[in-house]
Amino acid sequence: MSRGVRRAGAGQGAAAALQLLVTLSFLPSVVEAQVTGVLDDCLCDVDSIDNFNTFKIFPKIKKLQERDYFRYYKVNLKRPCPFWAEDGHCSIKDCHVEPCPESKIPVGIKAVSSNKYLKVANNTKELEDCEQASKLGAINSTLSNQSREAFIDWARYDDSQDHFCELDDERSPAAQYVDLLLNPERYTGYKGSSAWRVWNSIYEENCFKPRSVYRPLNPLAPSRGESFYTWLEGLCLEKRVFYKLISGLHASINLHLCANYLLEETWGKPTWGPNMKEFKRRFDPVETKGEGPRRLKNLYFLYLIELRALSKVAPYFERSIVDLYTGNVKEDADTKTLLLNIFQDTKSFPMHFDEKSMFAGDKKGAKSLKEEFRLHFKNISRIMDCVGCDKCRLWGKLQTQGLGTALKILFSEKEIQKLPENSPSKGFQLTRQEIVALLNAFGRLSTSIKELQNFKVLLQHSATVYKKGQLF
């Protein structure tokens, strides 16, 4: 090799190294600079949410998710996709969900009702031995008249049109309990046309968007066309909020996959951890043409919405009649105390989103828009049954149901204010499935924000290490 070629190669290598150094040192500051400040459509700032989440919410919500009442989630992962022929299920082993054996489910959870948090529903001997029930979800004939009346009220309410989500029928033979702690949300390798089709359907067909406007980074978008954000800013508040909620949910899910990535597998023992390359691919301002920071800001916006819902629903759980029942009296009491403590924290947050600014126009128009909003979100919950990876489907269903429950709460303020203290409400009810989804979904958002802070530290550390290496 000639001396000139060697010099050229060395020069190119030095240039590449310099470019990498600049990129690594620049990236943390760019991410921090762009994911900061006041959020659009509300008066809250990113730093306030970070501090509130780190010191008040995250440690407590993590403990709550470990409690028996919240770790077992009943879900039907076998419902067929209602919109297109399925591409087939993911064959990657990490896509698999391990259902929980019947013997492992606490007696109070698998007993007679899907609303196993009210004392009126738990005050029976049948809860001590649920094996006598002919099938899960059956109403035992020995229940008191008061309990039977409560169940009828709940059934009637569950048949109403107030849901923002398509709920699984817990009585279906295909519905199974899943231990969420043993089936964590993380990178599974599920990607390609099947995964893209799901998100494309959500954004292109359910976000109040005309076909002529393409979402950012859509590979099918023409080189010229109406700017997405010009179009978005021209929408009413409600429709902007809808898009931000979906974008925030998407960002949160992507953060979980980046933070719990299969780094290596030696002798069948996997090592999971944060993958900075994957994080950059999904969120770096340069690689995403500025879209990554927008998505992360939408994550904070989604956090605010669900935080507001928790503060609003607190009176529902503060009633003496509500008992998060598993059959373990001491643990149930501790779980409720912890939950109420979290609710107190949510109410103390000083910069809540004001949901009263939504659907505030003329009554007829507002009602029509609210119904359209509800149906669009309900449709998205149905799309979750089209996800080909079981683990992705599990967490997709749980998090969309959690957000749907939050929306249901925000738009039921009058009904919540009228709740009776010592008897079941006929105007507003939450099933156990909704309660578990609501708190776990918020737990996922809290974790996402904590993971984002961790990535900022890791990126800063990488840049510092690389700079030091160049000095020697």
Is 163 annotated to bind ligand? no
Position 218, amino acid: N
Q: Is 224 annotated as a binding residue?
A: no
Find out whether 211 is annotated in a ligand binding site.
no
Nearest of 193, 305, 309, 181 to residue 252 by alpha carbon: 305
DSSP secondary structure of 43-75: S-BHHHHHHHIIIIIHHHHHHHHTSHHHHEEEE
C-alpha–C-alpha distance, residues 120 and 18, integer Å: 69
130 is catalytic: no
Q: Which of 200, 179, 165 is nearest to 65 (CA)?
A: 179
Please, what is the Cα angle at 399 between 405 and 73, to 5 degrees?
85
The answer to whether the beta carbons of residues 375 and 407 sit under 8 Å apart is: no
The residue assigned the tokens 């702690």 is 181
Q: Which residue is catalytic, options 90, 165, 386, 392? A: 392
Residue 96 annotated as binding site: no
Phi-psi region of 368 (alpha: psi -120 to 50; beta: other; left: phi over 0): alpha
Q: Is 215 left (phi over 0), alpha (psi -120 to 50) or beta?
A: beta
Q: Are 318 and 342 in contact (CB under 8 A)?
A: no
Question: Could you tell me which residues are beta bridge partners of residue 273?
Answer: 261
DSSP structure class, residue 116: T
Q: Judge whether 392 counts as a catalytic residue.
A: yes
Residues paired with residue 269 on neighbouring β-strands, in sequence order: 266
- Name the DSSP class of 79: P
- 419, 313 Cβ separation under 8 angstroms: no
Q: Does 3 show up as a binding residue in the annotation?
A: no
- Report the alpha-carbon distance of residue 335 to residue 341 in Å, rounded: 10
Query: Dihedral of the CA atoms 398, 400, 404, 409 (nearest 10)?
Result: 60
Per the CB < 8 A criterion, the answer to whether 201 and 189 are in contact is: no
Residue 188 is assigned to a ligand binding site: yes
Question: Any idea how long the chain is?
Answer: 472
DSSP string, 213-274: S--TT-TTS-SS---HHHHHHTS-HHHHHHHHHHHHHHHHHHHHHHHSEEEEEETTEEEEE-
Q: How far apart are CA 309 and CA 352, in angstroms?
A: 10
Query: Is 363 exposed, middle or buried, given 0-12, 13-18 or 19+ CB atoms closer than 10 A?
Result: exposed
How far, in Å, CA of 448 to CA of 34, rounded? 17
- Rounded to whole angstroms, the Cα distance separating 202 from 188 reads 21
Q: In angstroms, what CA-CA distances link 208 with 213, 214, 242?
A: 11, 12, 9
- Compute the distance between CA of residue 331 and CA of residue 451 in angstroms, rounded to an integer: 29
In the set 44, 95, 207, 389, the catalytic residue is 389
Annotated binding site for FAD: 186, 188, 199, 247, 250, 282
* Residues involved in catalysis: 389, 392
Annotated binding site: 186, 188, 199, 247, 250, 282
